[in-house]
Amino acid sequence: MFPSSISRWTKAGALALSVLVTTATGGCRERSWTLWDAYVSHFVDDQGRVIEHSAGDRTTSEGQSYGMFFSLADNDRPRFDRILAWTRDNMAAGDLGKHLPGWVWGKAPDGQWKLIDTNPAADSDCWIAYDLLEAGRLWNNPSYTSQGRQMLALIAKEEVADLPGFGSMLMPGPSQLWLHNNAWTLNPSYVPLFLFQRFAEVDPAGPWGAVAMNIPRFLRQSAIHGFAMDWVQYVPGDGFYPAPPPGAAQPAAPDAAKTSKSPVAGAQKTEDPKAAAAAAEAKAPMGSYDAIRVYLWAGMIDGSGHARADILSAVPGMGALFANSARTGPPEKVSPQGIPGDSDGPVGFSAAVLPYLWAQPALAHAAAQQKVRISAQLNPASGLYGAQPVYYDQNLLLFAKGYLDGRFHFGPRGELKVEWTR
C-alpha cells in the first residue's frame, strides 16, 4: 500500500514506471529457479563465463550457449547479456556475425588463458543462434534478432552439407573438416528438432526445413538396435555406421568427454597399460555422454503433431530397455553393436531420459523411478545434484527439470514458450 501522504499522480507515475520496467525486460520472474541459481553460484562468474571446474576450469561454447538459454528461460536479461558479451569477445573475435565461436577457451600450454581450440562446434552455434532469435522475439529486441540471423547465415554457409544420397544435414563444424575418404562424420545429439523447426520459420529460404525433415530419418538410420550413438559416419550408398570420437584420447573426467572439436588432433602416447586401455576404450565407438542428449531433445519436442512420435520411434532402444528390464538408471555406455553396458550412467543421464520416458505413457513407471533416483542425489548444501556436482550433469538436469516443471517448452514450430510471459 502507498502511504496516504503520497499523491495520486505519484502513484500513477510509479505504476507507469513498473509497466515500463516490465515491458523492457519482457515480463517478470514468476518464481525462483533454485537449481539455476545454484548452478550460477557454482559455475558462472561475474563476467558471464561458464566454468567447467572438473576439466581444468575451461569454458566451452556449449556451456555458454546453455547459459544463455537458461538466462532467457529465467527472464534474466542482464546475465544473458554478460554471457553473450563474454562469448563474443573471447570466443568469436568480437563479432558473432563474422566469426562462429571457437569451442574451447582455457589455460594453454604456455600458461596463458585464451581460446585454445578455434574450431567451432555446430551444436553450440545453433543453440546460440536460437537463443538470440528467441531473445529478440521475447524481449522485443531487434539487435538480438539481427545477430541470430547473421549466425544462421554463417552456420548455413559453413556447417551444413548435402550428403550424397541422403540430403541436407548439420555437420559437427566446418563441413570440409568432417569429410575424409568420401565419408562424413556426424553427431546425432547436435540436431534437436525444435531448433531447426524454428530456423525454418525465421529463414524459410535457408536449408533448415530440409534439415528438419531429414532429422527423424538420420536418427533412425544411425541408431543401432534403437540406441543413439555418440558419433557416426556416413558412407554414400552404404549408410551410417558407429564412429569413434574425433581427436585425442579422452580424459578421465566424464563431463569432459569431448576433448577436441578438431577431427585431426593426434592421440597422446602413454606407457601405462591401464591408461592405454582406458584411452582405447574412450576412443571406441559407443552411445554415451553425447548420445544421451538425443533422448532429452526427443522428449521435449511439442507433442501436438506427429514430430515427437517420429523422433521417439527413431530411437526406441532406451524405452524398450526400461520396459523389459529392472534397470535403476540408463546405461553409461551402449556398445557399437547396440548392447547396453551394465553400469548405470550418472544422475544427469536419468534427467536426460526423463522427458523421453514421460512422453510415452507406457513408460510412466520407469519415469517415476528415475525421478526417485534424481531426488536421492540432491545435495542440500549446494542445491545441486551429486556429492561433487559435475557441470554436464547439472545442464542435463536444468533442461529436463525446467521443461517438466513448466518453466519453458517448445511450440509446434520450435518457438520457445516461457513461464514468465504468462
Cell of 228: 543413439
Phi, psi of 286 (to 5 degrees): -170, 175
Respond yes or no: is residue 62 known to be catalytic.
yes
Q: For residues 151 and 246, what is the distance between their CA atoms, to the nearest angstrom?
A: 25
Number of H helices, E strands in the chain: 15, 13
Q: How far apart are CA 422 and CA 416, in angstroms?
A: 13
Q: Are 288 and 257 in contact (CB under 8 A)?
A: yes
Total count of residues recorded for the chain: 422
What's the CA gap between 41 and 191, in Å, rounded?
29
Asked if 331 and 289 touch (Cβ cutoff 8 Å), the reply is no
Q: Is 123 a catalytic residue?
A: yes
Residue type, 288: S
**What does the block give as the cell for 8?**
495520486
Provide the β-strand partners of residue 60.
104
Q: What is the DSSP letter of 174?
A: S
- 419, 53 contact by CB (below 8 A): no
Options 123, 158, 302, 332, the catalytic residue: 123
Which entry of 62, 131, 255, 332 is annotated as an active-site residue?
A: 62
- Judged by phi (left if over 0) then psi (alpha if -120 to 50, else beta), residue 404 lies in alpha
Tell me phi and psi for residue 116, to 5 degrees.
Answer: -110, -5
- The catalytic site residues sit at 62, 123
